[in-house]
Amino acid sequence: MLWFLLLISIISGSYAQFENYEQNYGYVTVRPGAHMFYWLFHTTANVANYTERPLIVWLQGGPGGSSTGIGNFDILGPLDLSLQERNYTWVKNFNVLFVDNPVGTGFSYVDDLQYLTTTNDEIALDFVELMRGFYRDNPEFEGVPLYIYGQSYGGKMAIDMGIRIREAESANTINSNLRGIAMGNAWISPIDATLTWGPQLLAAGLVDQAGFEEIQRHAREAERLFNIGQFVASTNQWAATQQAVFRSTTRVDFYNILTKMPAFQPDTFQDAYSFARDIMVRDGLQTTIDSIASERQQLTLDQLMNTIVKQWLGIPEHVVWSSSSSPVFNTLRGDFMKPVTESIEKLLNETDIILSKYNGNLDLICNTPGQLLWVDRLQWPGAEGYKNAPRMPIWENNRLEGYYKSYGNFRFFWINEAGHSAPRDNPAGLLEVLRDMTSFP
């Protein structure tokens, strides 16, 4: 009953703020039985027409994390969980499109679980259909520069989306204008990430030698299973490696090694796969978000999305929003450990699309050491030039926010004082990523 009274209070005090933003939203049936939801916010930049600024698509990770909820209210949308204006929202400079992807995530839904996606390419094909529907609903955005930003598993999905979108553009079946893809703390090469958890934790003093060796034993087994094509078993072993980290570090937060996982997260008595899945689909959701809501007597994200937001957007009654979808994650279990480095090479070798890799240096689950390994192995014409390029500092307001290195159409950004969700943890550092790719702000 308390949350209902809080709902009435918030509606009377803040609900009208949704109306302060020009926006559009809706469903696109990407396949029979599969319905994907998008929520667009037009930029508030001082321009004659909002289409003068690029369109940025934000993809949450997991897979199964909701962009319309986590990405919007917890990371970079115009309003925060309190429905107060966020001063570093990307909407100040860009049109931002939040997509609940893959189908079955957030407000997106399927008529039957058989319609969930099983591979990254299926996800990409659905995304192309989503964008076709988006342009039908919003034709003024045809030809507007398009950039796809994906966090965590969203970064992995964005790569194959880029390939399929460019194919559709070349075939003149979509009027998009894809210019760039950003991979934020992305799940690009899972084995590289898993094998470097132990060394990173040992170097940071967060495990002793015995803990390091235990973590590495599990990680090497995940690698062995992957190498012999046992992809589901490799996913299960990746999960066991996460649990070994959890035990050896006394609950270090996989999304920020300077903090520990909150008490409401899974404990060591949960089976390893469910434990790891529930961590992954959280995808950087602010660990204290529920406790903050409780302290301030506000709605949790789940309550907000299933009451005020659901009513505002006119979501069908049978659709229940959740921050993460276990069925989506489970259905992709066989694809989870597969890398997309060959797809990155295809984009670098065959297109002029800008590829930016940015990483919060305090992340563990998609850590910087693991990212550097696959970057150094990339085969593309600019590989040698990139390796020899200088690493330059990122200064914002006399603060060192990180470093960057670039050559041709590939960039790498190291973001200081940030964990898994760098745009939320260090918005000033992300300004350089946005500025480099789009020439704004």
Active site residues: 152, 363, 420
CA 284 to CA 89: how far, in whole Å? 17
CA 68 to CA 168: how far, in whole Å? 26
- The values of phi and psi at residue 282, to 5°, are -65, -30
CA 115 to CA 28: how far, in whole Å? 15
Cross-strand bridge partners of residue 147:
56, 180
CB 275 within 8 A of CB 239: yes
- Written as six digits, the tokens of 9 are 């209070």
User: CA angle 62-276-372, nearest 5°?
Assistant: 65
One-letter identity of residue 117: T
| Residue reference for tokens 């934020």 | 184
* β-pair type (145-151, 392-396): unpaired
| Residue reference for tokens 């790498």 | 412
| Residue reference for tokens 């409401």 | 264
Angle, helix 231-249 to helix 272-280, in steps of 10 degrees: 80
- Written as six digits, the tokens of 360 are 């919060």
- Written as six digits, the tokens of 209 are 């030698």
Helices (H), ranges, 73-208: 120-137, 153-170, 190-203
- Written as six digits, the tokens of 275 are 């434990």
